[in-house]
Amino acid sequence: MAPRLMVRAPLVCATALALACGTGDEGGDRVVGDAEVVGEGAGTVGAATDGSSEGGAAGLNGGGATAAVRGQTPPASGGIPAIVTLTPQASDGPAPTDSRTPALEGSGLSGHPAAPAEGGQAVVDQFGLAFSPRVLIVAHGSPVRFTNSEGAISHNVHLRSVSGDSTVFNGDTGPTEEVDVMLPDPGGYDVLCDMHPGMTGFVFITDAPLAVAAGSNGRFEMDPVPPGEYLARVWTVEGWGVERVVELTKDMPPLDLTRQ
């Protein structure tokens, strides 16, 4: 299925949901830095633990005590971070509540609940010859809006599936233009600008209610998370790897998600 496309122009003022830029490049030709999460859940921010601002999580609201989930995944490869997803498993007790907030914005640094992004929209802006944010996690079924805030510079949005190494969208964005793209399949997508090869980013589409981008060293944190039993999965540039049911509790030790 081809991604759904909507183009709007001109844009009087494009507001970038920009975050502090990190240093997630591992020396490859893909560069990741800041991370932002846009999802249907509400209230959980994840953090990279390597000093960068990679990381961020969309999640579920739950009452009572919460768990701080920390752990280790494989390190970033070619600048693409590992993604950790958590899906609550059926239990006899009350399930966490999915509040279905359309979009979330968070730095992945503070550990405080994320606030709804302006307009409930996933946005990647092109400004200063860079994508901002460079790493974005989006709930499956939510469109991604690519804006161009440059006053006189044209850009291009070229999305390539990491798993299939194939182009799923390629379109130009002139000054003050914006384009909405609905990516139909969960997974990772390289974000490129054919006009400016130094501009790179990464979008991850997920069905899971909780997801976080690990730091370049593979370390991650989600805080707070409702305690309970979850299916933990790890995605890397090689595809889905570790998959394990884990019990999340308050003051739990770090999770080793580097191997099955």
CATH code of 155's domain: 2.60.40.420
CB 8 within 8 A of CB 178: yes
Tell me which residue has tokens 């000054």: 175
161 pLDDT band (50/70/90 cuts)?
very high
Q: What is the pTM assigned to this prediction?
A: 0.72
Number of structural domains the chain divides into: 1
How much is the pLDDT for 36? 56
Element (DSSP H or E) covering residue 241: strand 239-248
pLDDT beyond 50 at 79: yes
Residue 48 burial (10 A CB sphere; 0-12, 13-18, 19+): buried
How much is the pLDDT for 260? 79
CB 124 within 8 A of CB 193: no
107 in any annotated domain = yes
96 in any annotated domain = yes
Where is pLDDT greater, at 104 or 135? 135
CB 9 within 8 A of CB 171: no
CB 44 within 8 A of CB 58: yes
pLDDT, tens digit (0-9, with 9 covering 90-100), for 92-103 = 544 444 333 233
259 in any annotated domain = no
Distance between CA atoms of 56 and 37, rounded to whole angstroms? 6
202 in any annotated domain = yes
Tell me which residue has tokens 């509040």: 99
Mean pLDDT score, 243-249: 93
246 in any annotated domain = yes
How much is the pLDDT for 38? 56
258 in any annotated domain = no
Task: State the residue range of the domain holding 54.
Answer: 4-253
184 pLDDT band (50/70/90 cuts)?
confident
260 in any annotated domain = no
In terms of residues, how long is the chain?
A: 260
